[in-house]
Amino acid sequence: MSVSVPALLAVGLLITGALAWVALTASRRRRARLSAAGFPVSRARQRGIWFTIAGLAVLSVAVAGPSATVPVTRSAGTVILAMDVSGSMAAPDVAPDRMAAAQRAALSFIKAQPQSVDIGVVAFQQGGLTTAVPSADHTVAASAVSRLAVSGGTSLGSAILASLAAIVRKPIPLRQDGTAPSIGYWPSATIVMFSDGQDQGQGVSASVATAVAEKAGVHVDTVGVGTAIGATIDVDGYHLFTALDEDTLKQIAQTTGGTYHPASTASQLNGVASTIDLRLTVTHERLPLAGIFIAVAMALLAVGGLLTIAGSGRVI
């Protein structure tokens, strides 16, 4: 326990000590006079005086602003939104197009999360780029999602590896044999990937990246954006057919312990938060104790007053 104004505590205790000394001296003299005269000594009155002095001592502590530092646990988790911005996300099989549907679902997910969850954003095509580092300020993540635009090819493996790098706050280089090093254990982190599952195999392979995520305890929840019927898009004058590849997205989710969600049910994404293994962080907060000391002081003063009245037979 500590006090905000130690000087007030010192002054209060000095005054209380002086009153106790005066009361003790006066009590001894009075007891001697009454004993000499043959009168009984009222113990109730003496106890009342000491209760009153004790109440004043406790009140002096309350005036000094006492407080205690207590550990407080706070649930917190990290979610990385991995947003596919490849050219196939311009397909209109999900109105108005896949990119807009993914953005709508992502924004809905962000709004549903409590402030105890840090949210970051990674945009990916052939590679992955962190557009918003994990933060409790969800407006930053929402702004990053709203600014996304389609371009380029797709590498789901690079997306997962870039998301893991955003979680650990450092790059994850591949070894010469194509494998990734251990990044530790992060069971409180989850990657939510919005994609049509079209993987062109560029960059890091999805199998390598999912193995790293699985070993780190990071779940990858995949969100399928698009339809199995698919659509045809124009890319640099060429007509390309693209369709939702649910099997790839389901495999990524299954390998890492995550869940697959169709983007057509964006409202179901709110349930993803319940699957996050939230970590507990311990912070120390100051707990004011003045109210407790004031309550104890008032009780002691009340008891002291009642005992004094009972012993003397008068209020004044």
pLDDT value at residue 212 = 93
Q: Please state, in angstroms and rounded to a whole number, the distance separating the CA atoms of residues 111 and 108.
A: 5
Strands 279-288, 66-84: parallel, antiparallel or unpaired by DSSP? antiparallel
Indicate if the pLDDT at residue 23 is higher than 60. yes
Q: Please state, in angstroms and rounded to a whole number, the distance separating the CA atoms of residues 9 and 140.
A: 47
Q: Which of 229, 166, 155 is nearest to 197 (CA)?
A: 155
Q: Which long-range contacts (CB under 8 A, 24 or more apart) does 232-241 make?
A: 232/91, 233/87, 233/88, 233/90, 233/91, 233/92, 235/87, 240/87, 240/88
Grade residue 179 by pLDDT with cuts at 50, 70 and 90. Answer: confident
Tens digits of per-residue pLDDT, 250-300? 999 999 998 888 765 445 544 554 554 455 566 677 888 888 888 888 888
pLDDT value at residue 214 = 94
Can you tell me the mean pLDDT for 173-177?
79
Considering 129-133, 205-209, 211-215, 268-272, the range whose residues carry the highest mean pLDDT is 211-215
Tens digits of per-residue pLDDT, 55-87? 888 888 888 888 888 876 665 688 999 999 888
pLDDT value at residue 59 = 85
Can you tell me the mean pLDDT for 140-149?
88
pLDDT value at residue 277 = 47
Q: Is the dihedral of CA 75, 76, 77, 83 positive or negative?
A: positive
pLDDT value at residue 266 = 47
Report whether 256 contacts 294 (CB < 8 A): no
Residue type, 81: L
Indicate if the pLDDT at residue 193 is higher than 90. yes
Six token digits for residue 194: 């919005």
Which CATH number is associated with domain 73-280?
3.40.50.410
Q: Is the dihedral of CA 260, 193, 234, 204 positive or negative?
A: negative
pLDDT value at residue 55 = 83
pLDDT value at residue 165 = 92
Indicate the range of 23-27, 117-121, 187-191, 219-223 predicted with least confidence. 23-27
pLDDT value at residue 230 = 86
**Computed over its alpha carbons, how large is the radius of gyration of the chain?**
35
181: exposed, middle or buried (Cβ count in 10 Å: 0-12, 13-18, 19+): exposed
Q: Please state, in angstroms and rounded to a whole number, the distance separating the CA atoms of residues 288 and 299.
A: 19
Q: What is the pTM of this model?
A: 0.64
Mean pLDDT estimate for the chain: 80
% the chain with pLDDT above 70? 81
Cα distances (Å, whole numbers) of residue 144 to 69, 159, 163, 203: 38, 16, 15, 24
Cα distances (Å, whole numbers) of residue 230 to 31, 220, 240: 103, 24, 11
The residue with greater pLDDT, 127 or 176, is 176
Report whether 110 contacts 141 (CB < 8 A): yes
Tens digits of per-residue pLDDT, 218-240? 999 898 888 888 888 887 777 88
Going from N- to C-terminal start, the domains of the chain cover 2-65+289-312, 73-280
pLDDT value at residue 271 = 54
pLDDT value at residue 29 = 74
Q: Which of 47, 44, 61 is nearest to 6 (CA)?
A: 61
Tens digits of per-residue pLDDT, 36-53? 666 665 565 677 777 888
The residue with greater pLDDT, 220 or 199, is 220
pLDDT value at residue 300 = 83
Backbone angles phi, psi at 196, to 5 degrees: -90, 0
pLDDT value at residue 87 = 85
